[in-house]
């Protein structure tokens, strides 16, 4: 409803600006605009608003022959236009049906952030208690408080992620301290063996051949630092 009002206000303001520039009375120009608008066929319904409102066309400066009125075709055309608009908007915004059901665990979107680095969703887990259309009641698993939220403000926790968190908590509770044995003193034979092995590896490495570098002839008269 607000969108329809704002769209009509745009047209009215445009007409008032024209009257202001031409130096005409804006009250008379506004009545003329409304007369033309009510007598003109609408793009969505295919009929004039006055005909849909009163069942007949209002008298304007254009002569018209009265015809039989049937609004069934108008309703079909209106539903078709609305369905096309819905499909286009859903495709553009990538709209999809929500998979949140009663009993699911969800994250709730923060309605207000304290700073820009905060995540969009709170890390606290909630459980869906009741769902009626897009209206959902969730309960905090920490405090037990219940909140009413729209389904678009909820993010379902996948079952795999929930199981992984449960396993991680169970593992952390069952962890035991492992005793690490102290390093044994290294004997002199082991040191000699390691030194000989390192020497053998160094001897096996091939030597790289380097070419003889000569100073350019233009620097013969100069003493380098």
- The DSSP code sequence of 15-64 is HHHHHHHHT--HHHHHHHHHHHHHHSPPTTTSS-HHHHHHSSPPP-SS--
Residue 208 burial class via C-beta count within 10 angstroms: exposed 0-12, middle 13-18, buried 19 and up = exposed
For residue 76, the SS3 value is: helix
State pLDDT tens for residues 161-198: 655 565 655 555 555 445 445 555 555 555 555 555 55
| Contact criterion met (CB below 8 Å) for 110 and 121 | yes
Rounded Cα distance between 109 and 94, Å, is 19
Rounded Cα distance between 111 and 185, Å, is 63
**pLDDT at residue 201, rounded to an integer:** 46
Helix 26-39 / helix 2-22 crossing angle, nearest 10 deg: 130
The two structure tokens encoding residue 36:
């033309």
- The pTM of this model reads 0.38
Residue 186 burial class via C-beta count within 10 angstroms: exposed 0-12, middle 13-18, buried 19 and up = exposed
Q: CB-side exposure of 43: number of CA atoms within 13 Å?
A: 1
State pLDDT tens for residues 102-132: 889 999 999 888 888 888 898 899 999 999 8
Rounded Cα distance between 209 and 191, Å, is 33
Asked if residue 67 has pLDDT above 80, the reply is: no
74: left (phi over 0), alpha (psi -120 to 50) or beta: alpha
- The DSSP code sequence of 91-157 is HHHT-------TT-EEEEE-SS-SSTTS-SEEEEEEEEEEEETTEEEEEETTT--EEEEEGGGEEEP
**pLDDT at residue 75, rounded to an integer:** 85
Per-residue pLDDT, averaged over 131-138, amounts to 89
Strand partners for 135: 132, 150
Asked if residue 137 has pLDDT above 80, the reply is: yes
State pLDDT tens for residues 14-66: 999 999 999 999 999 999 899 888 888 888 888 888 888 888 778 777 676 66
For strands 146-150 and 154-156, give the pairing. Answer: unpaired
| Contact criterion met (CB below 8 Å) for 132 and 182 | no
What are the two backbone dihedrals, phi and then psi, of residue 132, each rounded to the nearest 5 degrees?
Answer: -135, 95
**pLDDT at residue 138, rounded to an integer:** 93
- For the chain, domains (ranges, CATH) are 2-93 (no CATH), 105-164 (2.30.30)
**pLDDT at residue 168, rounded to an integer:** 58
Rounded Cα distance between 126 and 144, Å, is 9
């Amino acid at each position: 409803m607000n969108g329809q009002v704002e769209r009509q206000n745009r047209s009215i303001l445009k007409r008032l600006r024209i009257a202001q520039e031409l130096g005409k009375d804006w009250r008379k120009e506004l009545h003329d605009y409304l007369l033309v608008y009510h007598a003109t066929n609408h793009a969505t319904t295919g009929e004039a608003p006055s005909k849909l409102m009163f069942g007949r066309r209002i008298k304007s400066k254009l002569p018209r022959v009265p015809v039989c009125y049937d609004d069934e075709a108008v309703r079909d055309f209106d539903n078709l236009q609305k369905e096309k608009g819905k499909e286009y908007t859903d495709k553009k915004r990538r709209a999809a049906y929500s998979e949140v059901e009663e009993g699911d665990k969800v994250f709730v979107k923060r309605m207000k952030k304290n700073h820009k680095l905060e995540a969009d969703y709170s890390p606290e887990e909630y459980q869906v208690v009741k769902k009626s259309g897009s209206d959902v009641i969730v309960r905090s698993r920490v405090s037990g408080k219940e909140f009413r939220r729209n389904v678009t403000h909820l993010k379902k926790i996948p079952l795999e992620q929930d199981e992984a968190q449960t396993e991680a908590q169970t593992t952390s509770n069952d962890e035991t301290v492992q005793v690490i044995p102290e390093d044994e003193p290294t004997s002199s034979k082991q040191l000699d063996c390691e030194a000989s092995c390192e020497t053998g590896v160094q001897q096996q490495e091939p030597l790289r051949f380097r070419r003889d570098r000569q100073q350019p002839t233009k620097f013969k008269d100069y003493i380098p630092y």
